[in-house]
Amino acid sequence: MNPKLRALLAVGAELSRGIGLRGKIRQAHRDRDRLVMADAIVTVLGLITGVALAVREVRKAGQR
C-alpha cells in the first residue's frame, strides 16, 4: 500500500475515535463524574498524539 495513503488512513482513524468523545465529556460534566471526565481527557490527549504522529507520517511520505 502507498505510504502516503496508509498515513492518511491513520489520520482518519484517529479522528473517527473522537466522534463520541464530545458527548462523553458533556455527560461526565452533567453528572459531575470526575473519573469519567479524567478518562475522557486522557483519551483526548491520546487522540491528539495519534493525529500528530499520523500527520508526521503523511509529511514523511510526501517527501519520498
Question: What one-letter code names the amino acid at 57?
Answer: E
Query: Which segments in the chain show pLDDT lower than 50?
Result: none
Tell me what pLDDT residue 9 has: 84
Tell me what pLDDT residue 50 has: 84
Tell me what pLDDT residue 4 has: 75
Portion of the chain with pLDDT greater than 70, in percent = 98
Q: What cell numbers appear for 57 in the block?
A: 507520517
d(CA 14, CA 50): 6
Q: What cell numbers appear for 45 in the block?
A: 490527549
Q: Which pTM does this prediction carry?
A: 0.71
d(CA 8, CA 29): 33
